[in-house]
Chains A and B, each alone.
Chain A
Amino acid sequence: GESVGLHLPTLSVQEGDNSIINCAYSNSASDYFIWYKQESGKGPQFIIDIRSNMDKRQGQRVTVLLNKTVKHLSLQIAATQPGDSAVYFCAEDSGGSYIPTFGRGTSLIVHP
């Protein structure tokens, strides 16, 4: 299948800063994108999703931006907290296959 990749494997930020985690995808048919957060020893948790007919979606302290022109997805976390430390995965799906393709993950480390 086509790949979903992440630009940076590790991101270190100071508590209170804003964090931006990036993701590139290559399948131009992708129409649904998801961000997951995985804490150590736990299963991935759904954070936020976005469909290809949107370019921005906001949640609580998180914003997902989608640039279909360059096939790029980002997750912005406002006022990052130590509890945000985790691995973040992006995933994409196309045509309602319900078999998303996952990126390899970015480890976010928040320093107090």
Chain B
Amino acid sequence: SQTIHQWPATLVQPVGSPLSLECTVEGTSNPNLYWYRQAAGRGLQLLFYSVGIGQISSEVPQNLSASRPQDRQFILSSKKLLLSDSGFYLCAWVTGDTQYFGPGTRLTVL
């Protein structure tokens, strides 16, 4: 069966520090992968998506970046976090036409 993992589950970081969030999927190959951010009480904002290794599309200009070093690994990074980067970060993948989401990472920037 296919599963999606994210880590860490929670993270508290100071402003200006770097960020690396990881997402991995199992049980599938060459998936479309997505990073979303969700602010408290809000909907989902698409940040990046990837259709293959090394292929990244950015939806929202910001101080975040994404990389896909392996087929089933998707990484969200920042060199210097801002307060506004706080939120719930969700990785997702597609099977058939449907997106399925990971458990999320709660990021708090202080």
Interface positions of A (Cβ within 8 A of B): 32, 34, 36, 41-46, 49, 89, 91, 93, 96, 98-100, 102-105
CB proximity of A75 to chain B, nearest CB, Å: 15
B43 and A89 form a contact (CB under 8 A): yes
Contact B32 A45 (CB under 8 A): no
B98 to chain A: which residues have CB within 8 Å? 34, 46, 49
Known A-B contacts A98-B32, A98-B94; the reply to A43 vs B101 at CB < 8 A is yes
**Number of chain B residues whose Cβ lies closer than 8 Å to a Cβ of chain A:** 19
* Chain B residues packing against A (C-beta within 8 Å): 32, 34, 42-44, 46, 49, 90, 92, 94, 97-104, 106
CB within 8 Å: A-B pair count: 43
- Whether the Cβ atoms of A104 and B49 lie closer than 8 Å is no
- Cα distance A105–B40 when bound, in Å? 12
**Top 10 closest A-B pairs, CB basis?**
A43-B101, A104-B43, A102-B44, A43-B104, A44-B101, A98-B94, A102-B43, A43-B103, A43-B90, A98-B32
Contact A99 B100 (CB under 8 A): no
A98 to B95, CA, bound (A): 9
Most chain B CB inside 10 Å of its own CB: which residue of A36, A44, A46, A49: A44
A93 touches B97 (CB 8 A): yes
Kindly state the separation between the CA atoms of A42 and B105 in the bound complex, as whole angstroms: 9
Q: Are A32 and B97 in contact, CB atoms less than 8 angstroms apart?
A: yes
Contact across chains for B44 and A89 when beta carbons are under 8 A apart: yes
Query: By the criterion CB–CB under 8 Å, are A42 and B103 in contact?
Result: yes
Closest CB in chain B relative to A3 CB, distance in Å: 11
